[in-house]
Structure 1
């Protein structure tokens, strides 16, 4: 394994923070048997029991939150499929496709993400960033602040000057696989051998595509799903050993998160799609968002009534009702407001819906089922989709602690900025996770105000 030069005149690596994303990692996956490396890491640092994904609980919404410290109402990526009529008025765009996202960003004049990004903020402060991702090219592009950070991904490596170096150091990318062993290993290699040894970055983002990549098809608690989790954990352990070999363990703060949780699916064939079939000539559907193209308010009301009559549909959201100062009641009766979930962006549709969910237990003993097609996944308001993983350890992090203070994926950005001494923009709506830091208040001392919207 290459390591930095050890001569007395060699400057120490600049690295100060690593953000590791395990795609789709439920907190209850983290056991000593299934994930020995992450479990041990949690014992020496802080583990949160109240961390959550941004809604919709999908990858690119949360990759963008990590990149901006903002939710979809600020950063503008409203689902995994988004409707941007200024880019393509005929269909939704797949945010998993990096080339499509780069084209959209170009058409929009660099405003695909409508909030300041971590790469921009860190570059302005003279800091370097690397994104190393085994996920989709689109999630890598968005995590890199819409292509504003050095990025290594099987389908998207940027800037162009990095492509030759990446091939020389890492070799060609292996094929996508289930479990995604080769690409996860390559992403770890990219952090260690490119991010630290070659580019000497201050902040590195590592995206491991399992368990999500495998569990979508295999199911929660399946043998191959569990093996994908353990394999991803081995790569995390290898990254930690790489930091140790470079004398960085006591110098680098490491944050481990998941972009969302996971639920078993009812498996019925697209029950919600059948509800919307009657409106195919009147609306555009992009993910869970519905854009009324014909019929105005009457169509919106009819769509909401149809959704409300379907047992497979859960929460429904519309714009705020007139005079709704509590930001909870939606425009249509029986709906909640976009403001209540931070989804009130100019790009928002007329209606947003989530699949229904329950606490049902699957054959492997894992709770959480949603009324969606397929074997397993995420994206809903289910607490099993919303509850995400947050574990941190490092020189500035509390030791052997637990936190029940609510946090979100958007809070990682201002926390990293704080640790690097870089001011966060006043408009960044998230917060520094002071309770995780040994200089902050103990989690038990933090007053938590809980509100409910019905």
Structure 2
């Protein structure tokens, strides 16, 4: 039976897949399919892209608007970071974390399993399979597991997780051990996923192309080589392997405290809730009149890039409809802003600068509509995929779930907004 392994490198840019930095992944890309025009969803932040990968839906459809957001069906006054404790509470209080079924839910209907292990944020891990207690499968993370009862058994067998470090290689190695000794050989899931937090953590802390960033990339690549060697040595080399990143990257030009700015401009906390997301900001307004006034003010600022308005905000001159990026839906903000960006090279030679809500000038960031953040990695190799092929047609993270279902010979739900990437398949 066909099985699929998805390997995610958080924040990996296509420009980093070079023989001197990533020899294993470079060879994989040369021998398989390289998707040249692959894209995340906007905002180009991690947790909503994880949700889009497993639901095949844009943020408006799956209901996770950004890393930092408001869910009015949960608490209309709370700006929260989408991490496991809050997401679990949303599930308890509203009955659903995501507004669309995940790969795990769909596979469970066919008697199949999805198991994910990741060493990034707890929110990123949680959205892979929020209903594991009922739908089956598992999510494994240093802070928790789903089902929660699995954690003690894994710690008893594999030991405690290493402390987080820079680069976060010890945790990734621990995850690889659980993947190769437990998940694949014992659970035998139809789909397994492993998520590396690098090079994202190193790039946030030290900058894109910094010495620490390059070290993180090299060590992540070594881990990938270990996984591929294990697959070959254990008779599962015919697995279809997909390698993806959640977003690209930019270098911070200047940090902007947007919330303080709009408060100083007269927009109070009762009028506007502000959710900062690195290269983007979401605004939840009291009413459409406030949204219109705020939009006019934002568009007068040099750092304001593309500004998108939801249907609830109304037709605001100068804005684009949030539906253009699939962001409109039950949990959508009234306004979604990308900072301005450019293609200037940083000191290490990587393209792209943008403003950010956090971090520091010269460090790495993402979240905006910069073409350097909105172009990310997708590679594939295995018996179902063509060999030595470069695909130039547009693809996106929303295409991961439908492509996986196609590989497994399962029907793709009509409400998935992504597509199976048939042009990359042997019979496509």
Give a deviation string over 1:123-145, Cα, whole Å, max 9, x none: 11111121010111110011225
Aligned pairs for 1:2-401 within 5 A: 16-95=3-82, 97-109=83-95, 111-145=96-130, 147=132, 149-249=137-237, 251-268=238-255, 270-277=256-263, 278=265, 279-281=267-269, 282-287=271-276, 288-293=281-286, 296-320=287-311, 331-372=315-356, 373=358, 374=360, 375-401=363-389
Report how far residue 429 of structure 1 moved: 1.4
- Residue 371 of structure 1 aligns to a residue whose secondary structure is strand
Normalising to structure 2: TM-score of the pair?
0.93
**TM superposition outliers: structure 1 runs of 4+ over 4 Å:** 145-148
Give a deviation string over 1:174-216, Cα, whole Å, max 9, x none: 1111110111112212221111122122210110000001110
1:15·1:203 contact (CA, 8 Å) conserved in 2?
no
The number of residues matched between the two structures is: 414
Structure 1 alignment gaps of length 5 or more: 1-13, 323-329, 441-454
Greater mean deviation of Cα atoms: 63-72 or 277-286: 277-286
User: Comparing both chains, which one has the higher relative contact order based on Cα–Cα distances under 8 Å and sequence gaps of 6 or more?
Assistant: 2
Give a deviation string over 1:238-268, Cα, whole Å, max 9, x none: 111111121111x200000000000001133
Greater mean deviation of Cα atoms: 360-369 or 154-163: 154-163
1:27/1:302 CA distance change after superposition, 3 Å: same
Normalising to structure 1: TM-score of the pair?
0.88
- Residue 386 of structure 1 aligns to a residue whose secondary structure is coil
2:48·2:64 contact (CA, 8 Å) conserved in 1?
yes
Give a deviation string over 1:49-76, Cα, whole Å, max 9, x none: 1000011110011000111011101101
1:52/1:146 CA distance change after superposition, 3 Å: farther
- Residue 172 of structure 1 aligns to a residue whose secondary structure is coil
